């Protein structure tokens, strides 16, 4: 776990990229892959839990977690807001 935390703390110019599968790590590309978090479709995911995140640590992939898309169903819509503000102004 210390290796993962150390890598995360030391990242510069971190990028995210969506891939259908993880790229193969070689001696030639390990440096290029090290500052990228890969988002790979989560086969067992739900509607909101659609990607698994990976980072290259010491030449191998380390699973960071899963990315959930937020649900906004509890938030007011623009139409609802405008209707409410309009009612208050009258």
pLDDT at 38: 92
Q: Sort 37 into a burial class: Cβ within 10 Å, 0-12 / 13-18 / 19+.
A: middle
Domain of residue 60, residue span: 2-89
The reported pTM is: 0.59
Selected residue with higher pLDDT from 39 and 7: 39
CB atoms within 10 A of CB 83: 12
Cite the DSSP H helix spans in the chain: 2-9, 30-33, 78-89
Residue 60 — very low, low, confident or very high, per pLDDT cuts 50/70/90?
A: very high
- Beta partners for residue 63, in sequence order: 54
The count of structural domains within the chain is: 1
pLDDT tens-digit map of 12-55 = 678 889 999 999 999 998 888 888 999 998 877 666 668 889 99
Residue 61 — very low, low, confident or very high, per pLDDT cuts 50/70/90?
A: very high
Half-sphere exposure of 54 (CA within 13 A, CB side): 21
């Amino acid at each position: 776990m210390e290796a993962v935390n150390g890598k995360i703390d030391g990242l510069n110019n971190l990028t995210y990229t969506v891939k259908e599968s993880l790229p193969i790590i070689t001696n030639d590309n390990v440096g290029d892959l090290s500052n990228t978090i890969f988002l790979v479709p989560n086969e067992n995911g739900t509607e909101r839990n659609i990607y698994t995140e990976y980072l290259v640590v010491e030449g191998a992939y380390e699973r960071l977690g899963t990315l959930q898309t937020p649900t906004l169903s509890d938030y007011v819509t623009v139409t609802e807001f405008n209707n409410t503000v309009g009612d208050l102004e009258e």
